[in-house]
Every structure is written in structure tokens, then in C-alpha cells.
Amino acid sequence: MKADTAPWQLLGPLSISLVALLIALLPGSFTTELQYHRIDLADGDWWRLLTAHLTHLGWGHLGMNLCGLWLIWYLFPAIRPALRYLTLLLFLMPGTALGLWLLSPEVIWYRGLSGVLHGLLIWALLEQLRKAQLISLSVLALVILKLIWEQWQGPLAGSESLAAGSVIVDAHLYGAVTGVILWGITELWPASLSEESK
């Protein structure tokens, strides 16, 4: 990462972190208006498809998600350009929420970035396959095994105590699937997010 581009590359995770922190400081009643809520979405509150992922169950949940956000940004240079990073998130957020809407009608409400982070990680791993095939395939296999385990057995041990609430594992799956779809689109479309930044 070039020193002269570092501040611009920080814009992506920094802006998401600041917005999530500001939302965490808001009164609980206001935060409830931003979370994913199935009934309110049906009534036309479409902003929740985006804002749901920036609301959290508490400071522990927020801290855990922001650590994941920054770790993925740090480990995968392909997602660092701010425009690419923010564009990926802009599609991963509604993709994850729409997965819940269409395929998990039992999920009434949801908060958090974890589903989006799974999608971002999957996109980054697939994008990195050409440069670091062995490690990318190994980590990709572990993430897939985790997703399968969650669908079979539920959340990983300890994850609900860390989040201070229920973990919606379906969000992880839909985020990951959205990440695969976005990567496929970037592979097929020449002027896509998968191009190296100039």
C-alpha cells in the first residue's frame, strides 16, 4: 500500500466504523427504527435494508464486528480502494437483508455487520485466488465449513455470549452467497470492482 494513497484507502472502513459508532450512541428507540424488522419493511421502511447492518446489540457486539471489519480490510489489499470497499458494502448490505426477507420469514428482526462481513471475506478470498491459491482455498474451505456447521448445529460456541444476544446464522449464509454473486459479476464485467486500482 503506497503511503500517498493510505488515507484514501482508510476512508472505507473508517466511514463505516464512525457511522456504526454514532448509531450506537443514539437512544435505543431511535436505533430500533434502523434495525432490520420484517413487519416495518413490509410497510415500506426500505432504509432498514442498509441501516440494519450498522446497528448492534451492544458495545461488545459492535466491537466484535468492527474488529472483523478492520481485519478483513487489513488482510486483503484487493478490497482497500475506498470506492471498491464502499461499493461492495453497498451491495452486500441489501443482499444479506433481502436473503433474510425472502428465505428466512421466521427472522423478525436483526442487527449487525456479521452477515456483510462474511460476504466481504468471501469476495476477498475469491479475488485473491490467483495470487495466493493455497491459503485462499484453505481459508475459503474453513469459512464454508463454518457456514455448514452453523446451518446444521447453530451458532459457534461462545458467539452468542460475545454478541450479547442471538446470532442469526442465516445472515452469515446470505452474506456469503451475496459475496459469491458479486465476485461472479466482477469476473464477468470487465470494468468491474475486480480490476486493479490504477
Domains of the chain by residue range: 6-188
Average pLDDT, the chain: 87
pLDDT-derived band at 196, boundaries 50, 70, 90: very low
pTM of the model: 0.88
DSSP labels, 123-171: HHHHHTTTTSHHHHHHHHHHHHHHHHHHHHH-SPTTHHHHHTS---HHH
Which pLDDT tens digit goes with each residue over 37-47?
A: 999 999 999 99
E strand map for the chain: 36-37, 109-110
Q: What are the phi and psi torsion angles at 73 (to 5°)?
A: -60, -40
Q: Which residue has 427472522 as its cell numbers?
A: 107
Confidence check: pLDDT of 99 > 60: yes
Name the fold adopted by 6-188: Rhomboid-like fold (1.20.1540)
Q: Is 36 helix (H, G, I), strand (E, B) or coil?
A: strand
Query: What span, in angstroms and rounded, lies between the C-alpha atoms of 116 and 53?
Result: 7
pLDDT-derived band at 190, boundaries 50, 70, 90: low
